[in-house]
Amino acid sequence: MVRDRLFSLLLFDVLNLAAPRGIKQTTMVKARAIFACILTWMVFTACARCAAQSSTSATLQTAPEKVIIDTDIGDDIDDAFAVALALRSPELQILGITTTFGDTEMRAKLLDRLLGEVGRADIPVAAGPPTPPKTAFTQLRYAEAGHFAKTLHPDAVTFLLEEIRRNPGEITLVAIGPLVNIGSAIEKDRDTFRKLKRVVLMGGSIYRGYGDVGNGPPHGPQPEWNILNDIPSAQKLFAAGVPLFVMPLDSTQLKMDAANRKFLFRQGTPITDALTLLYHQWAQETPTLFDPMTIAFIVKPELCPVEPMRIHIDEKGYTRPVEPPKLANSQGAPYVPNAQVCLKSNPDDFFHFLVPRLAAP
């Protein structure tokens, strides 16, 4: 409005100048002043446009990342911490949570309660196909209590594919359980699956196995749980052609010490109370927070720097790095990395990020 008014005044002055009164000294001075005004107006307009554009791009840059979390929550405790971290991260828009492996319906009920307790019952929960149970459902009592439990949950694979169709190229799929749902989704509609923005996976063991946190001699890689429990699906994922970010055992054996636990569990917020209950049902002492690193990576990628690698998943579930061919022997098929892999992280930096977020009121 102000800009338009200024322009009208300037136009009026220019028209006055153009009137046939002859060119006098005073008119020349006036003309120079008006020219300066026009120049100022043009700069003002350009700046306003720039400001509007940079404000739009800032909005775009800060638009929350759309995520779907595929989890086997309820056995180990790290999934609960991963979901809690996602809930406490305004950088993320959680489109839904899907459950995989074992008693998927009971896992969905556990999530119903967790989400209900923290006021996020709006987040859809979908259950994948059940598989024979392989480990103890340690947090079963929490799930069975039935607070907020829904009687029916949609099918996880259908839900995932529908969300991808609705948001092509925009969804980050966070895979923190055995890859049953993901393999099924690829099998059912590979083209749609390829419209994911990316998959961020906790899985694999490149150079380090369980228990090797870098303070002793390395004892080599091992088949990792999420890969081992559905090797064909893992092979499909690594061949799917979707950008894949992998947080293996090498960078995710993050032990939550007693001081951090004590601090967190006395906060008394809905989310720390839920974690407190789940932690005690888990009934072990020191949690290893493998899964939350996926969420931490999405929000703050420098917590787990990645490098391109080509990973081959063998029939025993090992995730073997394929060495790039030496230049002299580089005939044949080109070496194409199929994943961005985080091989090292700093636990102190991770917990400095995680704990204040979870503890915040």
Note the residues at the interface with Ca ion (CB under 5 A).
Answer: 72, 79, 176-177, 291
C-beta of 322: minimal distance to Ca ion in Å? 26
Residue closer to Ca ion by CB (options 83, 361) is 83
Dihedral sign (CA 347, 348, 353, 358): positive
- The strand ranges marked E within the chain are 65-71, 92-99, 125-127, 171-176, 198-202, 244-247, 306-313, 319-322, 339-342
Question: For residues 79 and 163, which CB has a smaller minimum distance to Ca ion in the complex?
Answer: 79
Dihedral sign for Cα atoms in the order 212, 214, 215, 220: positive
> Would you say 76 or 212 has its CB closer to Ca ion?
76
**CB nearer Ca ion, residue 112 or residue 291:** 291
**Least separation in angstroms between CB 103 and Ca ion:** 14
- Measured CA distances, 8 to 1, 11, 12, 160 (Å): 11, 5, 6, 56
CB of 168 to Ca ion, least distance (A): 27
Q: How far is the CB of 71 from Ca ion (least distance, A)?
A: 6
Q: Which is nearer to Ca ion, 203 or 209 (CB)?
A: 203
Residue 176 CB, nearest distance to Ca ion (Å)? 4
Report in angstroms how near the CB of residue 328 gets to Ca ion at its nearest.
43
Here the tokens at position 186 are 């690829």
Structure tokens at 129: 């196909």
Rg of the chain over CA atoms, in angstroms?
28
Q: Which is nearer to Ca ion, 100 or 235 (CB)?
A: 100
Residue from 296, 295, 209 nearest 248 by CA: 209
Q: Which is nearer to Ca ion, 131 or 215 (CB)?
A: 131
Alpha-carbon distance of 253 to 356, in angstroms, equals 20
C-beta of residue 135 within 8 angstroms of C-beta of residue 75: yes
Nearest Cα residue to 70 out of 211, 220, 206, 237: 237
Task: Tell me how far, at minimum, the Cβ of 274 lies from Ca ion, in Å.
Answer: 17
